[in-house]
Structure 1
Amino acid sequence: MTALTVTRAEPDTGTPMLDAHLVVVRDSFRLDVALRINAGEVVALLGPNGAGKTTAVRTLAGLLPLSAGHITLAGQDLDRPAARRWTPTERRPIGVVFQDYRLFPHLSALDNVAFGPRRRGLDRRQARQRAAEWLDRMELADYGRHKPRQLSGGQAQRVALARALAVDPALLLLDEPLAALDARTRLDTRAQLQRHLAEHPGATLLVTHDPLDALVLADRLVIVEHGRIVQEGDAGTITAQPRTDYVARLVGLNLHRGWADGHTVRIGADFVLTIADRHDGDVFVAFPPSAVALYPLRPDGSPRNVWPATITGIQRHGDNLRIQLAGPVDVAADITPAAAAHLHLAPGQPLWAAVKATETRVYPAGSPRTAGTD
């Protein structure tokens, strides 16, 4: 995956606009995540279902109280249980765009956008004037009288974004803002959203399942699993050195952890990979599915890394087929439909997999990144 290039103002790297340590305990689930976002910065929060992304958004928005920790926005404490401080949702300088947009069905697009400014103290005329300006910026000036049911998905998303931005939020929360759109509308709306986020002077937190949305829209990625941060950094760092299976799948790599001794890495009890460069100690080994070659019989004189495997699944992946393989190590391989037809591939079929040492990427494992403490 390749991130698109966008010209953004450099984020303010001084005191962060958002400084939060989110600790929420609900039944058997515990969220413990530290988030710091600078003014003008877009941070994407990614993770599998149940990782705690929605809990983080609801907590920041004031819809769910903290169990411990703090939320400090633009220098003001919004939530700090230890000091018995909590700010109601309507008094937080935060704009939210939900996955289903949650536009008021009985209000026009203009009055939907004007709702926030009215709640913040502007009179009806001033609020509607501001709303009209935001609809014009969203290229929706001709749709002000339309009710939500009269808008397309992309238009509704832009109205929801205008409503969130019309209150000049210090923090903009985007909860899967493109998930409800079809592929073509998503492409166009992503490009428009990219432009508006580049102009937003406050902090932005984007929650998404889509790695392309994150790579295109965000300056930095934060990956959460089981309520904790497992990796964070810019797109280049994350995609080059994934540290969990989820992150590896997200960026399209096979990932295994093992013990390196020179030019070999032992994975599990008795599987050894040959690697190109010398390493020692606890390491990750990553390689793309395109680097995995498949053979009906054990190849002679081929890469040194050869092992027996069994097909467990076949899916379309872009122009290729992605073959899921079980064996001494479980991997994914990408091959062309023509190659698949030549090999007569089918689930349950045994074959041989191989990867060249030069196709592997090896780096120290270390410990996953976790949240700090107050």
Structure 2
Amino acid sequence: MTGDGAAGDAAAAASGPAEEGLDARLVVRRGAFRLDVTLGAAPGEVVALLGPNGAGKTTALRALAGLAPLDGGRLRLDGEDLAPLPAERRPVGVVFQDHLLFPHLSARDNVAFGLRCQGMPRREARAEAGRWLERVGLAEHAAARPRHLSGGQSQRVALARALATRPRLLLLDEPLAALDARTRLETRATLRRHLEEFEAVAVLVTHDPLDAMVLADRLVVVEEGRVVQTGAPDRVARRPRTDYVARLVGLNLYRGTASGHRVRLDAGTAAVTVTVTVTEDLSGDVFVAFPPSAVTLHRERPVGTSARNVWRCRVAGIETHGDRVRAELTGELPMAADLTTVSAAELGLSPGGEVWAAVKAGQTHAYPASDATASPQAS
């Protein structure tokens, strides 16, 4: 499934539950919070659940694993109803954020643990565990206990333990979050290789957009317990539909009403009608997006520039990242702008200062808002 929005989900629902893969609607209530998320995935597909803290990502993963009971909906895997089954009887492998290796067991015996729970004899289980450690590049660490392993090595042991039982559903809960930047880069590449070889369904929970873009075939964005956008990573990145998604992929996002090449925005100050000139010829409810790097800043209103969009703004804050500066702007149109440290110094940027922001029409991207933003939640 790589479609965007409700249309693709509605078509899938109309065709009935898939005999292979994941077909789920997860309804879980926790006090005032209610999770209601529909998920579907084919064998061999990696789906990433993205969302801000408290959105319900981990709750959804726990419901899939059998660690949180469903209050409604359904949970079918390869045509089998998993909802009545306890966690230990589900064909599910889990890689937790903190790996949860047994500290008193060697890497080999940690991997063999799940196989032993399935009834495999000890010698056979340890031999199979050794083969899995070889696959993840840790054969020489088979006798090591977790305290003697690095973070990346522990993560690979946890992955081998989850895969060794040959689950039909693999769940990964922030699997790279505890790693340093260098180890994360190396381990992400290892994880991607193993996910490409995995023939069942994999669900990844992450807050890191790079992890999601690199590892997943499809993104499912959850906010306040509901799906707000779904689609292939490149499509979600090109066409964000909420402020959270726009920030995630590094875009300024606005909603408005289009008439030809002009879009009247539902943003800015109440006293000013804000419009944007775009290259697309559209009509009706639309989104407009552009990257912070498309914004040029000026001390005075630019004259003779090719930019068709110019607004008076005020600097609300400044952050430096290496040789780049991110300026958060308020005023006629709130936005983020990226510029070099040299340009920021020449402009004398400081919080509270007034600037003019300009964006060329060719650097904007307008698209219909009617593509729908959320998956239907009907059972």
TM-score bracket, shorter-length normalisation: over 0.9
Per the TM alignment, residue 262 of structure 1 is displaced from its structure 2 partner at its CA by 1.7
Q: 3-state DSSP class of the match of 1:345?
A: coil
The worse-fitting range, judged by mean Cα deviation, of 168-177 and 343-352 is 343-352
Partner of 1:62: 66
Determine whether 1:347 maps to 2:347.
Answer: no
Q: Is the 8 A contact 1:228 1:371 kept in 2?
A: no
Deviates more, 1:317-326 or 1:70-79: 317-326
1:60-81 per-position Cα deviation (integer Å, ceiling 9, x unaligned): 00000000001111221011xx
Q: Equivalent of 1:291, from 289, 294, 299? A: 294
How far apart are residue 369 of structure 1 and its match?
1.5
Shift of 1:325: 0.7
What CA distance in whole angstroms lies between the structure 1 residues aligned with 2:284 and 2:58?
A: 37
- The 5 A counterparts of 1:104-253 are 104-253=102-251
Unaligned runs of 5+ in 2: 1-16
Question: What root-mean-square deviation, in Å, do the aligned CA atoms of Structure 1 and Structure 2 show?
Answer: 1.4
Whole-Å separation in 2 of the counterparts to 1:289 and 1:173: 35
Match of 1:372 among 357, 363, 377: 377
Are the structure 2 counterparts of residues 318 and 97 from structure 1 closer, same or farther at C-alpha, using a change threshold of 3 Å? farther
Instruction: Answer yes or no: is the 8 Å Cα contact 2:230–2:375 preserved in 1.
Output: no
Residue 273 (structure 1) aligns with: 276
Equivalents in 2 of 1:344, 1:202: separation in Å? Answer: 56
SS at match of 1:58: helix
Shift of 1:252: 1.0
Counterpart Cα distance in 2 of 1:122 and 1:52 = 36
- Deviation per CA, 1:269-289: give whole Å up to 9, x if none: 511112223211100000111
- Once the two structures are superposed, what CA deviation does each residue of 1:125-158 show, in whole Å capped at 9, x if it has no partner? 1111111110011111111111111000000000
1:194 counterpart SS class: helix
C-alpha separation in 2, matches of 1:31 and 1:25: 6
Partner residue in 2 for 1:282: 285
1:233/1:317 CA distance change after superposition, 3 Å: farther
Q: Distance in 2 between matches of 1:167 and 1:148?
A: 20
Distance in 2 (alpha carbons) for counterparts of 1:68 and 1:102: 29
1:320–1:16 CA distance, 2 compared to 1 (3 A): farther
* SS at structure 1 position matched to 2:82: strand
Question: How many Å separate the matches in 2 of 1:310 and 1:164?
Answer: 52
The residue type equivalent to 1:231 in the other structure is Q
Structure 1 residues 318 and 257: CA distance shift in structure 2, 3 A: farther
Give 1:76's aligned residue.
80
- Structure 1 equivalent of residue 7 of structure 2: none
Contact 2:41–2:47 at 8 Å: present in 1 too?
A: yes
2:52 is the counterpart of 1:44 = no
In structure 1, the gaps of 5 or more residues are: 1-12, 80-85
- Gap change, CA 1:298 and 1:51, over 3 Å in 2: same
Quick one: distance in 2 between partners of 1:278 and 1:190?
41
Which shows bigger deviation, 298-307 or 22-31?
A: 298-307
Percent of aligned pairs with the same amino acid = 60
Letter in 2 for 1:199: E
Q: Distance in 2 between matches of 1:74 and 1:147?
A: 36
Question: Where do residues 321-332 of structure 1 align in structure 2 (5 Å cutoff)?
Answer: 321-332=325-336
Q: Distance in 2 between matches of 1:74 and 1:116?
A: 21
The residue type paired with residue 350 of structure 1 is E
Q: Which residue identity does 2:151 align to in structure 1?
A: G
CA positional deviation for 1:264:
1.2
Tell me the number of residue pairs that the alignment of Structure 1 and Structure 2 aligns: 356
Q: Aligned partner of 2:274: which letter? A: F
